[in-house]
Structure 1
Amino acid sequence: MSQIQNLARHTRLLEIVGDTVRVRAKGRAFGEMAIVENTDGESSLAKVVELDRDIVSLQVFSGGKGLSTGATVNFLGRSLDVVYSPNILGRIFRGSGDPIDGGPELKTDPRIQVAGPTVNPAMRVMPTHMIETKVPMIDLFNCLVESQKIPIFSVAGEPYNELLARIGFQANADVLVFGGMGLIFDDYHFFRDAFESHGVFHRTVMFVNQASDPLVERLMIPDMALAVAEKMAVEENQRVLVLLTDMTAYADAMKELGVAQERIPAVRGYMGDLYTQFAQRYEKACDFKGAGSVTILTVTTMPGDDVTHPVPDNTGYITEGQFYLHDGIIDPFGSLSRLKQHVIGKATREDHGQIMNTMIRFYSGAVEAQKKQAMAFELSPFDHKLLKFGGLFKQRFMDIAVSLPVIEALDLCWQTLAECFSKDELLMKKNLVDKFYPEQLAAEAGE
């Protein structure tokens, strides 16, 4: 920090409230960075979070504990920036932008500004490319499409981080940019080990805010991750997949900051600009004309499994669907990808659309048959077929640990259908049934 030229120096803090300090200064800008130097020589980064005429409020990264009103504020005349060079691949940074992996410092590497504007709509192209994740419940039924922004809706205790990591190291993307907000150490270590053990760490950049780190750094994580992702997509034609967890922790950090600023809350204590803050980040997802793409996949935990909670509720208005994870499975009924029609049968195989609809139709019937069985109603022969199909469907497709390329998954769908139903019971297009239905397997199953 001593190498940074101070552009404006101010002394005598007016007020210290939690991690927020106020100082009288003119000509400052919202989001401008500063260095707060205490009387004992200790210094910390800070960010301008509120302007009231010439009263400037700053959020101190290291917190307000131990600060004296005699501290000095040195404004830097710039917004937050982050290192950007080929050297960041395979590295881990904290919310302040400093590396935390024990590797060399990158002080001489170029830096880029974060939290810039979203992309001009004229520079966006219609999404047409699928990101294959090898997770059947995604690839078959709710495809992840390049430039899509989509969350995983779940609750505490569910394996959403395991699913996010699996998608990360199995997806056919060029670069992974990971942003962790409020992670406990075990989760941080899990993601790092997962990316290293599956051989993708060399093309991964990680920005991590742990639960014990300063709260304000948590708010920097998405902006840093998305700034790096956008730069890679635009200038290096990379297909970038951004993974963010957990957006509820991000929203809670914004709420705490709003309380410290004595702002009037809206719904359930969250600030009224929650939607705007989310939209500014999610709208960074883009397929750039003549360049690469940024795809955003996040985790949104729903307190009390309440989808009307402000965080998932606002998220749903911005994103293009959701993956609903509960009881360790991706629910085919609660999940939705609004862009899947752009790739199903086009980027995949001609039978994809028919298979998707047929499998879900039979699984829905299996759920109804299970209810009849639980209430001791008499089951028809077709109900027994549905129950057999439901068991195979859960085992072969719904477990998030299952890993299958999409073409193999489609073939397994036909195999499962043949083991349970005759050709006439499928109610599918005849040309597709004639081409893909495995006759020999059906005969062995007793058709």
Structure 2
Amino acid sequence: MQKEYKTITEISGPLVFAEVDEPIGYDEIVEIETPDGSIRRGQILETSSSAVAIQVFEGTSGIDKDSSVRFLGETLQMDLTEDLLGRVLSGAGDPIDGGPPIEPEEQRPIVGSAINPYAREYPQEFIQTGVSAVDGMNTLIRGQKLPLFSASGLPHNELALQVARQATVPEEESGEGDDEGTEFAVIFAAMGITQEEANEFMDDFERTGALERSVVFMNLADDPAVERIVTPRLALTTSEYLAFEHGYHVLTIMTDMTNYCEALREIGAAREEVPGRRGYPGYMYTDLASLYERAGRIKGQEGSITQLPILTMPSEDITHPIPDLTGYITEGQIIVDGDLNSQGVEPPVDVLPSLSRLMDDGIGEGFTREDHGDVADQLYAAYAEGNDLRDLVNIVGREALSERDNRYLDFADRFEEEFIQQGFDTNRTIEETLSIGWDLLSMLPPEELNRVDEEFIETYYREDERAEVEAEA
């Protein structure tokens, strides 16, 4: 029988403190009944033999010391079924799309755990996002966690939506040949977004039909901060169920992790914890790792979980604790650049500081195309050289540069205009991306392509492109 207490001693921000006469389990779910009869759900955040701290999901407004507290003896569970695909849920996991109630096949605690390293399958196999700057230069690999670093006001949401509706695992490119019939699903967890952003997300999902293969969790900016702590865990529990029970390749997109970390800081302040860097909790690294490490593949399992966390860097500072700690845990980063955005480049991905640490293991023959690695390396080197020369032009002028230097400057301009620039509605196959890459590399003499195998130059180099460039010069 559930015991009911009327022993609330303090209410501080999103937290309620109450006295108890027996130990209560950590993470246990609590119901708080206010004097007007409304019920609020909460979770045990701190416990001792005589007192507990409860974080209240719906906020503490209306709760006073006359409210009663009931401990349910269980942790927060997620109702799971394959029929969740196509549904829109609140940040607390309740349906908000007007559809029927969820009839679960099973329930699971949302506090999952990282995949056992011994049971992990090494991430391999290319996920095609349809975005050349990602597919060609910073390839997303099945089972990888690859964050998107952006800043306030940049179009990271548009890029996230583009990836959500375009991403696929090309079955015919699988290196192992065991993915036939495996489906692709997207779990989209939005935390602390505005109502306007939520409307844009839903309009895009419904307009493009992407909602049919997606589960959307929406936590709005005016929802309680505590709910933001729960939202990604609900999303990842759903991802694990679809991936490892039903064999889906799941892409989990979480935006914005900065709002999640701000909620951590708010709760830490309410608990009067000693703050760490810039006021964030000292355990933020561990907390983020408990989310990011739920991505991956498991030996003997067909499905996989790939994560694309999105965070807005405060003041565009990549050394800020949130991107800094995220970079330690994850396998690279995609950088959304303000300068490219101001030039009208869509999507404004800066490939030079971007990195996918697992790219080499998921591209090449059997995955994408045999020349992919060499093309990416040569494009990177040529663009970096052209980009460096732009600084020199500002000092000495373009006329003072050699013909070779001018060619690299032209290469850098065309790389941004043709390779990176594609708009948010264009879906390019990896073949199209590599074809554009060879068009650009053919601007340079073959002897400049020192990172590409001669066999690939003979097969893919375009003499007509080089002749056209020389004629214009």
Q: TM-score range by the shorter chain?
A: over 0.9
Is contact 2:23-2:47 (8 Å) kept?
no
Determine the structure 1 residue equivalent to 2:272.
262
Q: Deviations over 1:258-291 (max 9, x none)?
A: 1111111111111110000000000000112222
Query: Which SS does the other structure have where 1:150 is aligned?
Result: coil
1:189 pairs with 2:199:
yes
1:23 pairs with 2:18:
yes
Please tell me the residue identity of whatever aligns with 1:370.
Answer: R
Mapping for residues 27-426 of structure 1, pairs under 5 Å: 27-106=23-102, 110-172=106-168, 174-291=184-301, 292-327=303-338, 328=341, 329-346=348-365, 347-377=367-397, 378-399=400-421, 401=423, 403-418=427-442, 420-426=443-449
Please tell me the residue identity of whatever aligns with 2:448.
Answer: E
Moved more, 191-200 or 320-329: 191-200
Aligned residues: 441
* Pairwise CA distance, 1:334: 1.0
Q: Deviations over 1:24-49 (max 9, x none)?
A: 22231111111100111111111111
What is the RMSD computed on CA atoms of the aligned residues?
Answer: 1.6
Query: Which SS does the other structure have where 1:70 is aligned?
Result: coil
- Distance in 1 (CA, whole Å) between partners of 2:455 and 2:213 is 43
Moved more, 35-44 or 22-31: 22-31
Please tell me the residue identity of whatever aligns with 1:415.
Answer: D
Is contact 2:23-2:49 (8 Å) kept?
no
Query: Which SS does the other structure have where 1:192 is aligned?
Result: helix
- Distance in 2 (CA, whole Å) between partners of 1:109 and 1:54 is 38
- Distance in 1 (CA, whole Å) between partners of 2:395 and 2:447 is 29
- Distance in 1 (CA, whole Å) between partners of 2:168 and 2:104 is 32
Moved more, 286-295 or 102-111: 102-111
* Pairwise CA distance, 1:244: 0.1
- Distance in 1 (CA, whole Å) between partners of 2:461 and 2:25 is 65
- Distance in 1 (CA, whole Å) between partners of 2:201 and 2:25 is 36
Q: 1:276 to 1:18 in 2, by over 3 A?
A: same
* Pairwise CA distance, 1:143: 0.6
Q: Deviations over 1:144-173 (max 9, x none)?
A: 011111211111111111111111111105
Query: Which SS does the other structure have where 2:95 is aligned?
Result: coil
Is contact 1:9-1:73 (8 Å) kept?
yes
Query: Which SS does the other structure have where 2:140 is aligned?
Result: coil
Please tell me the residue identity of whatever aligns with 2:368.
Answer: T
Given the two structures, how large is their TM-score scaled by the length of structure 2?
0.90
Determine the structure 2 residue equivalent to 1:3.
none
1:432 pairs with 2:456:
yes
* Pairwise CA distance, 1:107: 5.7
- Distance in 1 (CA, whole Å) between partners of 2:209 and 2:460 is 35
Is contact 1:33-1:79 (8 Å) kept?
yes
Query: Which SS does the other structure have where 1:333 is aligned?
Result: strand
* Pairwise CA distance, 1:8: 3.0
Query: Which SS does the other structure have where 1:408 is aligned?
Result: helix
- Distance in 2 (CA, whole Å) between partners of 1:433 and 1:77 is 67
Please tell me the residue identity of whatever aligns with 1:263.
Answer: E
Q: 1:271 to 1:215 in 2, by over 3 A?
A: same
Q: 1:108 to 1:144 in 2, by over 3 A?
A: closer
Is contact 1:146-1:294 (8 Å) kept?
yes
Is contact 2:81-2:103 (8 Å) kept?
no
Q: 1:7 aligns with which of 2, 6, 9?
A: 2
Gaps of 5+ in 1: 1-5
- Distance in 1 (CA, whole Å) between partners of 2:329 and 2:114 is 14
- Distance in 2 (CA, whole Å) between partners of 1:87 and 1:387 is 53
Given the two structures, how large is their TM-score scaled by the length of structure 1?
0.95
Moved more, 364-373 or 307-316: 364-373
Q: 1:135 to 1:108 in 2, by over 3 A?
A: closer
* Pairwise CA distance, 1:446: 4.2
Please tell me the residue identity of whatever aligns with 1:330.
Answer: V
Moved more, 298-307 or 249-258: 298-307
* Pairwise CA distance, 1:342: 0.2
Is contact 2:125-2:363 (8 Å) kept?
no
Please tell me the residue identity of whatever aligns with 1:345.
Answer: G
- Distance in 2 (CA, whole Å) between partners of 1:71 and 1:53 is 21
Please tell me the residue identity of whatever aligns with 1:413.
Answer: G
Is contact 1:163-1:400 (8 Å) kept?
no
Please tell me the residue identity of whatever aligns with 1:106.
Answer: I
Moved more, 89-98 or 224-233: 89-98
* Pairwise CA distance, 1:320: 0.5
* Pairwise CA distance, 1:105: 2.0
Please tell me the residue identity of whatever aligns with 1:278.
Answer: L
Please tell me the residue identity of whatever aligns with 1:312.
Answer: P
- Distance in 2 (CA, whole Å) between partners of 1:318 and 1:398 is 27
Gaps of 5+ in 2: 170-183, 342-347
Query: Which SS does the other structure have where 1:424 is aligned?
Result: helix
- Distance in 2 (CA, whole Å) between partners of 1:247 and 1:51 is 27
Please tell me the residue identity of whatever aligns with 2:230.
Answer: M
* Pairwise CA distance, 1:14: 1.6
Query: Which SS does the other structure have where 2:29 is aligned?
Result: strand
- Distance in 1 (CA, whole Å) between partners of 2:469 and 2:192 is 51
Please tell me the residue identity of whatever aligns with 1:348.
Answer: T
Is contact 1:31-1:48 (8 Å) kept?
yes
Is contact 2:80-2:104 (8 Å) kept?
no
Is contact 1:135-1:167 (8 Å) kept?
yes
- Distance in 2 (CA, whole Å) between partners of 1:335 and 1:128 is 19
